[in-house]
A and B are shown apart, each in its own frame.
Chain A
Amino acid sequence: MAGSDYDVAVVGGGLVGAATCWGLAREGLKVALLDEGDRAVRASRGNFALVWVQSKGLGLAAYAGWTIRSSNAWRGFADLLKQETGLDVCFQRPGGFHLCLSEKELEARANNLRRLHGQPGIVEYRTEMLDHGQVAKMLPDIGPEVVGASYCPLDGHVNSLRLFRTLHAAINARGVTYLPSHRVENIAKEGGEFRLATAHGEIRAGKVALAAGNANMRLAPMVGLEAPMRPERGQIVVTERLRPFLNYPVVTLRQTDEGTVMIGDSKEESTDPTGLTLGVSATEAERAVRQFPLLRNVNVVRTWSAIRVMTQDGFPIYDESESHPGAFVLCCHSGVTLCANHALTVAPMIARGALDTSLVAPFSARRFHVQADG
């Protein structure tokens, strides 16, 4: 890589890319972060901000272990970010709830968890099914329609907009070169280095890490990788700031450190980030009021939709290229939950030039091929 401008070029300045940059810079590498502009379709500005464990891994047991690894690393990660930037991302892990509004929902929830925890090779952790009375001890404001819930003590949440800002402050302080409006049009490997073509010229780097969310689908084939994605739209409803009443995040509803209540877990097969389906917001609000009747008269101050980064099977993809050594791809839906892993575990692997298969082999995109040779 002699003569290259950078040791590593990271493509994509959202939570995944910024966390990866931070981890690479901590390894002492010279890093460039190529990002789109202010109008980029960016899940990092629209997400729900959970650091979530329960439910993860049905269909791919290793995903549960990978998620717990990040959940456990999050406290230390948040502390490191605070030391470096003075900014508090408000990470909290009080445990989280999945509330059920009918016996049928509760039964489906219990069945799902039984299937999840019954998989061969799944890491052991506690998720409990609770009845109305047990839930009410921890969430005194639930409505009578809440028949029960699942509770996992490993669940938590952060202030994700502040996390986004904090990561950018941290990489800036560590000397990462941030290049906005550098949409990558083409990547070629020539003379032992990667050449990334943008409207503002060519960037040369010894390695390249693709962290461009759903756009990885376009970029990965340029370096002999693949990222089969299935973008999905979600919507969120945000209330005015309220005095604290909710001490635990619920998978569909949480009160932020600043007092607003965020509501939403919708899924639509749409890639239009500019629209909003009113009926979806109405359904989210209606369920929220049934869960917490005291929200009935609360004012909504904002709604938004955002496009989820989603692989075709919902599990992360971490791969390194065989045809273009030094090229890596990172795709995942849970950019907040897995942020600590990307910063503290994956970035050092990229710095060393090889993914640690003992940790990330299950997440290779080779799983999408029926004829997979392992």
Chain B
Amino acid sequence: MFKRTDDIGETITLKVDGKPVRARTGDTVAAAMLAAGVDHCRTTPVTGAPRAPYCLMGVCFDCLVTIDGVGSRQGCLVPVREGMAVETQIGRREAGR
């Protein structure tokens, strides 16, 4: 879907739903997921419709994911880190996660 326009340079590895994903240092979680071809990062709380990162600037909240066990993080505002565990958020968030 998306192609990087320049050399990926220095990389780190994070996990998305348990699978390793290579990302560029400085990517946001949302950018890394889009670059890796992930087509949705969550489903909505009411109808279960799939959602992907949209505004990429912290406004639309469509990129919500679970990061290192904490739900409803805005993927577009969180820089990737080596070993980070990202999970697709299915429907309503579970309190305590």
A residues adjacent to B (C-beta < 8 A): 141, 240-243, 245, 258-259, 261, 292-299
Count of chain A to chain B residue pairs whose CB atoms are closer than 8 Å in the complex: 38
Shortest Cβ distance from A241 into B: residue: B45
Q: How far is the CB of B45 from chain A (nearest CB, A)?
A: 4
A367 to B46 alpha-carbon distance, docked (Å): 49
Report if A242-B46 is in contact (Cβ < 8 Å); known contacts: A297-B70, A299-B72. Answer: no
Residues on A with beta carbons closer than 8 Å to the beta carbon of B96: 141, 245, 293-294, 296-297
The prevalent SS among residues of B at the interface is: loop
Proximity bits, B7-39, A CB within 8 Å = 1, else 0: 000000000000000000000000000000000
Q: With contacts A240-B93, A243-B93, A293-B96 known, what are 5 further pairs, Cβ within 8 A?
A: A241-B46, A245-B96, A258-B45, A294-B95, A297-B96
Q: Is the CB of B94 within 8 A of A258?
A: no
Complex alpha-carbon distance, A292 and B96, angstroms: 9
**Binary CB contact string for chain B from 42 to 62 against chain A (1 if under 8 A, 0 otherwise):** 000110000000000000000
Q: Are A240 and B72 in contact, CB atoms less than 8 angstroms apart?
A: yes
**Set of chain B residues within 8 Å of A141, measured between Cβ atoms:** 95-96
User: Within the assembled complex, what's the spacing in Å between the Cα atoms of A294 and B97?
Assistant: 8
Residues from 66 to 97 in B contacting A, C-beta threshold 8 Å: 70-72, 91-96
| B72 contacts across to A, CB distance below 8 A | 240, 298-299
* CB-nearest residue of chain A to B44: A241
Given A242-B94, A298-B95, A259-B70 contact (CB < 8 Å): no
CB < 8 Å neighbour of B92 from A259, A292, A293, A295: A259
CB distance from A86 to the nearest CB of B (A): 18
Query: Which residues from A are CB-within-8-Å of B70?
Result: 297
Smallest CB–CB gap between A141 and chain B, Å? 8
Q: Could you tell me if A298 and B46 are in contact, using CB atoms closer than 8 angstroms?
A: no
Contact of A295 among B46, B71, B95 (CB under 8 A): B95
Closest 8 CB pairs of A and B: A294-B96, A241-B45, A294-B95, A242-B95, A241-B92, A243-B92, A259-B92, A243-B94
Does B95 lie within 8 Å of A245, measured CB to CB? yes
| Interfacial chain A residues near B93, Cβ < 8 Å | 240-243, 298
Establish whether residues A243 and B91, one from each chain, have CB atoms under 8 Å apart when the complex forms.
yes
| The one of A259, A292, A298 that contacts B45, using a Cβ cutoff of 8 Å | A259
> Please, which residues of chain B bring their CB within 8 A of the CB of A258?
45-46
How far in angstroms is the closest Cβ of chain B from A9? 39
Inter-chain CA distance A141–B46, complex, in Å, is 24
Give CA–CA (A292, B45) in the complex, Å: 22
Q: How far, in angstroms, from A170 to B61 measured CA to CA in the complex?
A: 36
16 contacts between A and B (CB under 8 A): A141-B96, A240-B93, A241-B92, A241-B93, A242-B94, A243-B91, A243-B92, A243-B93, A243-B95, A245-B96, A258-B46, A259-B45, A259-B92, A261-B95, A294-B95, A298-B72
Chain A residues in 8 Å Cβ range of B94: 242-243, 245
Q: Cβ of A298: which chain B residues have Cβ within 8 Å of it?
A: 72, 93, 95
Q: Which residues of A contact B45 (CB under 8 A)?
A: 241, 258-259
Q: B97: shortest Cβ distance to chain A, in Å? A: 8
Q: Which residue of B lies closest to A242 (CB)?
A: B95
